[in-house]
Chain A
Amino acid sequence: MIRDITIGQYFAGDSPLHRCDARMKLALTFAFMIVIFVCGNFFSLGLIALAALALALLSRVPGGMLLRSLRPIVMLVVFTSVLNLLYTTDENTHALLQIPLHFRGWVITVTREGAFTAIFTTVRILCLLLVSSLLTYTTTPSMLTAGLEHLLKPLAKLRVPVAAFAMMMTLALRFVPTLVEETDRIMNAQKSRGSNLETGSLLQRVKAFVPVLVPLFISAFRRAAELANAMESRCYTGTNERTGMKQLRLRARDYIALSAVLLLLGGVVTLNVFFGKIV
């Protein structure tokens, strides 16, 4: 189950999304997230959802992989939907459904507003996650960090160590799969010695996890020391100028993507104005 973590996973491909410039993708993903929160009625919400699905199709990432990246938040979505459904009640709401509980006269009331909020939240969260996983699926980690480094470059003038930060991100992305594998291995080792990681009270489970964390940390520190040696051996000093094999270049398709997102924003705002905001 721990192997399901898909942060920073890249899906090799050659789709239009893959070929866009990383800086543009980063900026547009951010813009898309804003648009997701701007939309205020079902028409604009539908437009957003269609746009997100269109992007998913355009990326040619297999649906199974996309679903897998959505899986970790299913619980969160269900939970917030239920809360929204049940707790959106005040004098201006319209009851849709009333379920009398034969206990002290309690009644579960599902209101129209509650249902709307639930649908909105669900679609928004799913779109948010879909768009951000599309970013990592279609951008190699090195391009992602290079793009981020470029976008943050102005901060270097304020003495923010942008290059070092980008290197940290590169290494973090590189070592996520390695450490995940290692955690799995240590967990299995501890389980085979009879430790119980899956049942018991929360406190018991936290305690059972300590023998997993200690070896994990020790090995991570050893790795870090060896990695530092390997990097220094290859002339990395942490302070010197570096070049990049892959140069970022804005091309026509990047401007097309920019226009598409601007169009989407325009569409959402128009629909908001036209049909009014309900959320």
Chain B
Amino acid sequence: MPSPLITFDNVSFHYAVEGESSPAARALSFAVEQGAFVALLGRNGSGKSTAAKLCNGLLTPTAGQVRVGGLDTSLEENLFEIRRRVGMVFQNPDNQIIAAIVEDDVAFGPENLCVAPEEIRRRVDAALAEVGMLEHRLAEPHKLSGGQKQRVAIAGVLAMQNDCIVLDEATAMLDPRGRHDVMDTVLRLNRERGITVLLITHFMEEATQADRVLVMDGGSLALQGTPAEVFAQPEALRAAGLELPAPARLAEALRSVLPSLPSGVLTEEQCAEAIAAALRKGAGA
């Protein structure tokens, strides 16, 4: 049983201290296990970014407790270690790159951790190679594509040798190609390097690749389970303002003519196979 890396224990959060603000997070309880790939879904304004910022102490809960590797995020003295362990990649690639040269940006985190210069150099090169950006190490960030910038941001997190990456809609501003490159990188880091991933997204297709899916609505957790479990509940998803992934929508639409199509079809391959199987069955009957 893997130990939980991030735990939310009955966490609530209000932006305004006083006044009639509705909570951006209410009674959130969940855990992200070491090495897991968890997707967090939700419509705009459902509180996803708030949850992300609660993960590394950028925001601290109004009530309840967030712990990272056992450390409470509301204690100032824990923040350094928590942020070393949990790296963040934000939505807008332009607003998270700090230096005017790619490799200097990747070095920013380790420099803050007071790592020795030669070791920083080694980590920066390794991190850039890991995300496939080594040949762009001397490039100016504003000349890179969105997907490349996000991979630089991921390298910046990797160079800190953290355990976990939280990506807050990191693919939302990218073209399909850039999105694909970033998702590939993230999946590989999770599968091969054992890095824990909390992927916040509103692209359902990205969530189908996760081990576990959390769905937020109005600041609370509406659904959770494996992708197959969550995407087998189209009504509940629709109530939370979300659609099924395209292959699942297609399967659902085809069910009126092919009643034997199973539910829980998530990827394009599964969908194609399921349709082929249903057609064979129909022809056989």
Among candidates B87, B108, B116, residue contacting A236 with C-beta atoms closer than 8 Å:
B108
Assess the B112–A227 pair: CB atoms within 8 A. no
Complex: how many Å from CA A177 to CA B94?
Answer: 11
Q: CB-CB contacts of A133-159 with B at 8 A, as 1s and 0s?
A: 000000011100000000000000000
Q: Which of B133-166 contact A (CB under 8 A)?
A: 138, 140-142, 156-157, 160
Knowing A242-B114, A245-B117, say if A226 contacts B92 (CB, 8 Å): yes
Q: Does A235 contact B (CB under 8 A)?
A: yes
Chain A residue at minimum C-beta to C-beta distance from B142: A177
Most buried by B among A141, A240, A245, A247: A245
Q: Which of A247-272 contact B (CB under 8 A)?
A: 247
Knowing A177-B142, A232-B58, say if A245 contacts B104 (CB, 8 Å): yes
Knowing A142-B101, A232-B83, A233-B83, say if A10 contacts B124 (CB, 8 Å): no
Q: Does A234 contact B (CB under 8 A)?
A: yes
Number of interface residues of A (CB under 8 A): 34
Q: Does A244 contact B (CB under 8 A)?
A: yes
Assess the B117–A246 pair: CB atoms within 8 A. yes
Assess the B58–A171 pair: CB atoms within 8 A. no
Assess the A223–B110 pair: CB atoms within 8 A. no
Q: Does B34 contact A (CB under 8 A)?
A: no
Q: Which residues of A contact B112 (CB under 8 A)?
A: 234-237, 240, 242
CB distance from B245 to the nearest CB of A (A): 29
Q: Which residues of B contact A5 (CB under 8 A)?
A: none
Complex: how many Å from CA A66 to CA B56?
Answer: 46
Assess the B95–A227 pair: CB atoms within 8 A. yes
Complex: how many Å from CA A170 to CA B117?
Answer: 19
Q: Which of B100-117 contact A (CB under 8 A)?
A: 100-101, 103-104, 107-117
Q: Does B224 contact A (CB under 8 A)?
A: no
Among candidates B53, B96, B99, B138, residue contacting A12 with C-beta atoms closer than 8 Å:
B138
Assess the A229–B90 pair: CB atoms within 8 A. yes
Q: Does B97 contact A (CB under 8 A)?
A: yes
Complex: how many Å from CA A12 to CA B101?
Answer: 10
CB distance from B125 to the nearest CB of A (A): 10
CB distance from B60 to the nearest CB of A (A): 13
Q: Which of B148-199 contact A (CB under 8 A)?
A: 156-157, 160
Q: Does B121 contact A (CB under 8 A)?
A: yes
Complex: how many Å from CA A140 to CA B138?
Answer: 10
Complex: how many Å from CA A171 to CA B105?
Answer: 11
Knowing A236-B112, A245-B117, say if A230 contacts B98 (CB, 8 Å): yes
Most buried by B among A170, A223, A230: A230
Chain B residue at minimum C-beta to C-beta distance from A233: B88
Q: Does B84 contact A (CB under 8 A)?
A: yes
CB distance from B31 to the nearest CB of A (A): 21
Among candidates B83, B97, B116, B124, residue contacting A243 with C-beta atoms closer than 8 Å:
B116
Q: Does A57 contact B (CB under 8 A)?
A: no
Assess the A178–B84 pair: CB atoms within 8 A. no
CB distance from A224 to the nearest CB of B (A): 8
Q: Does A91 contact B (CB under 8 A)?
A: no
Assess the B84–A170 pair: CB atoms within 8 A. no
Q: Which residues of A contact B58 (CB under 8 A)?
A: 229, 232-233
- Give 29 CB contacts A-B under 8 Å: A10-B100, A10-B101, A142-B104, A170-B98, A171-B98, A223-B92, A223-B94, A226-B90, A226-B95, A227-B96, A229-B58, A229-B90, A231-B98, A232-B58, A233-B83, A234-B87, A234-B156, A235-B84, A235-B113, A235-B160, A237-B80, A240-B112, A240-B114, A242-B112, A243-B111, A243-B114, A244-B111, A245-B117, A246-B117
